[in-house]
Amino acid sequence: MVRFLMPVLLCCITLLANAQKGYEIGGWVGLSNYFGDLNTNYRLSKPGPAAGLIGRYDINSRMAVKLSANYGLLRADDADSDNSFERARNLSFQSNIFEGAFQYEFHFLPYLHGSDDRFYTPYLFAGLNFTHFNPRAKYNDEWVRLRPLGTEGQQPGNEYTSVTLGLLYGFGVKFDLNLYWSVNIELSGRTLFTDYLDDVSTTYPDLISLEAQRGPIAAALSDRSGEISETSIGEFGRQRGNAQNNDGYAILSIGFVYYIPILECPDISHPR
């Protein structure tokens, strides 16, 4: 029996030492940064905390697919802009985001868990994300949800949706700490299918009608230029945002994942 078991054991040991197919589970922490109508010059001055959970399937040494459940905090303020119109506009927002993401990964180098010389690789990835957002602004020292206010004249019941799809893309580096534990460092971007992540997209509404329909807070948060100037810029139909460019965000992360190999050893043959 020993002479039949030995080849199988050697096979399993060899596969474990040069593992390719398998699963990875873990988590990550990092920073998130918003880009859109309130950050048109790609400032990095207001990053927020971010974190998530990772599940990955290693198809082979060159390819993998990953699912993740993520959280981030996005924020921006016109007061930080170099653009004179944006500073006069004086809008700001903050939003928690909850995201589910799928990505396909391509390794530049063969990546084998447990290998002495193939234990690291840079990689590219692309995929889709599904994001829930809820923009808020601070008014009289209280955080106010913006979507229900219809700040660009949306009729009650016709507000923009608070969930959106997006395109995910980026690059990273992964390397083993040992056979089972590895580190992933990623810089990823998202381009969303909405321009209302920040509650800003088109033009100023009729503020008198907005106040009559939604209340004085809605009108006050639609046009905040009067808070820093004697002259308001919120004329009906005047540009408030740029609907031609959708919003997005980026995440810089470092993750730690645990590898669970799939061993495909041959069946044991019994002597006749």
Dump pLDDT digits (tens) for 131-157: 999 999 999 999 999 999 999 999 999
| Distance separating alpha carbons of residues 202 and 181, to the nearest angstrom | 48
Place of tokens 């990772």: 54
Q: Is the pLDDT of residue 8 over 60?
A: no
Q: Is the pLDDT of residue 192 over 70?
A: yes
Residue 44: per-residue pLDDT? 96
| Local structure of residue 202 (DSSP, 8 states) | S
Q: Is the pLDDT of residue 10 over 50?
A: no
Residue 21: per-residue pLDDT? 86
Q: Is the pLDDT of residue 89 over 80?
A: yes
pTM: predicted TM-score of the whole model, two decimal places: 0.89
| Distance separating alpha carbons of residues 253 and 232, to the nearest angstrom | 41
Distance of CA 124 to the CA centre of its chain: 16
Work out the average pLDDT over 115-122.
Answer: 94
Residue 114: per-residue pLDDT? 87
Residue 177: per-residue pLDDT? 96
Residue 145: per-residue pLDDT? 98
The per-type count for the chain, helices as H runs and strands as E runs, is: 4, 10
Collapse the DSSP code of 198 into the 3-class scheme (helix H, G, I; strand E, B; otherwise coil) and give the result: coil
Please give the helix or strand (H or E) that residue 10 lies within, else none.
Answer: helix 2-17
Dump pLDDT digits (tens) for 24-58: 999 999 999 999 999 999 999 999 999 999 999 99
- Domains of the chain and CATH, by start: 24-261 (2.40.160.20)
Instruction: Assess contact for 92 and 78: CB atoms under 8 A.
Output: yes
Higher per-residue pLDDT: 58 or 266: 58
Instruction: Assess contact for 29 and 71: CB atoms under 8 A.
Output: no
Beta bridge partners of 143: 138
Residue 265: per-residue pLDDT? 61
Dump pLDDT digits (tens) for 159-171: 999 999 999 999 9
From residue 269, give the alpha-carbon distance in Å to each of 4, 10, 38, 123: 7, 15, 68, 41
Residue 267: per-residue pLDDT? 56
Q: How far apart are the first and last CA of the chain?
A: 12
Dump pLDDT digits (tens) for 252-263: 999 999 999 987
Instruction: Assess contact for 88 and 233: CB atoms under 8 A.
Output: yes
Residue 208: per-residue pLDDT? 96
